[in-house]
Amino acid sequence: MARIVCIATNKGGVGKSTTSVNLAYELSKQGKKVLVLDFDSQADTTKYLASLTASNQSYFIGDVLLDRKFDINDAIYPAVIAGNEVENLFIIKGRSGDAMTKLAMDMNSIPKREERLKLHLQKVDDDFDFVIIDTAPNANVLMMNAVIAAGEFVFPTEFKEHSFDGIENIITHICEVAFSEEEELDFMILPTKINRSATRALNYGKEYCSERFPDNVADSYIWLREIFADAERVHKPLSMFKPSSEAAMYYKKFAREVIENVI
């Protein structure tokens, strides 16, 4: 049975797409079969794992969600990075522009609109070890689909003032959508873009996390490093872009932590 992990927060720019791509890639490198779903309206994950020009001619997540009879397998493509297919890594593509906004509007009037992803994913449940869902920072019907399908959540967060508002908001939202209590949620907070030398922010974040979320903070930290922007420019995961860099280890370690976090 696939573990379905939703990467979410109510804030943009904190590292959701970076985490989705790098985590999925490292899981695949560690022998897991991984499917990535791009629910982000900027299609950032799709830019890493597929050619966006080709994507407009191929199926995307909207084709799956809008049509009860659509075979989800037809929308699953092998991931392609730098022109090469990646073993064990697959994607259901998103689309940029206004495609995702339009999709959310189209879905508002159809039956089972919040459960459609879950129902479609049941058909491929035995084919993958992990399904990773990258999301946009808004609470629309697409997000509801991601929440209802997911069994686990990763909340990337910075350690700046107000950073934790995004997590508090998303937890409240998920509890509403899933009709459950915070204690019942399986989630991990992943500190991202953390500046090692900003001591005050670092201490504030650590303290907030250990008091508010004593059991749910990842051991791995994704430190702030310029090399992430360099890797993003060429749409490569860190460990493919520069395997020898220290930063290449961050998501390798986090992937091991996710694998070990068996419920």
Of positions 2, 5, 6, 14, contacts ligand ADP by CB under 6 A: 14
Question: What distance in Å separates the CA atoms of residue 21 and residue 189, rounded to the nearest whole number?
Answer: 17
The b-or-e profile of 162-179 (16+ CB within 10 A means b, else e) is ebbebbeebbebbbebee
Closer CB to Mg ion, residue 8 or residue 188?
8
Q: Report if residue 243 touches ligand ADP, rule: CB under 6 A.
A: no
Contacts to ligand ADP from residues 23-52, by CB under 6 A: 44
Contacts to ligand ADP from residues 163-202, by CB under 6 A: 192-193
Q: Residues binding ligand ADP: what is the number (CB under 6 A)?
A: 16
Q: Give least dist CB 191 to ligand ADP, A.
A: 10
Q: Report if residue 262 touches ligand ADP, rule: CB under 6 A.
A: no
| Count of beta carbons in the 10 Å neighbourhood of residue 152 | 16
Question: What distance in Å separates the CA atoms of residue 165 and residue 31, rounded to the nearest whole number?
Answer: 35
List, in sequence order, every residue forming a beta bridge with 90; answer none if it has no partner. 35, 78
From the list 215, 190, 202, the residue with the least C-alpha distance to 22 is 190
| Count of beta carbons in the 10 Å neighbourhood of residue 119 | 15
Closer CB to ligand ADP, residue 76 or residue 231?
231
Q: Report if residue 93 touches ligand ADP, rule: CB under 6 A.
A: no
Q: Which residues bind ligand ADP (CB under 6 A)?
A: 12-18, 44, 192-193, 222, 224-225, 228-229, 232
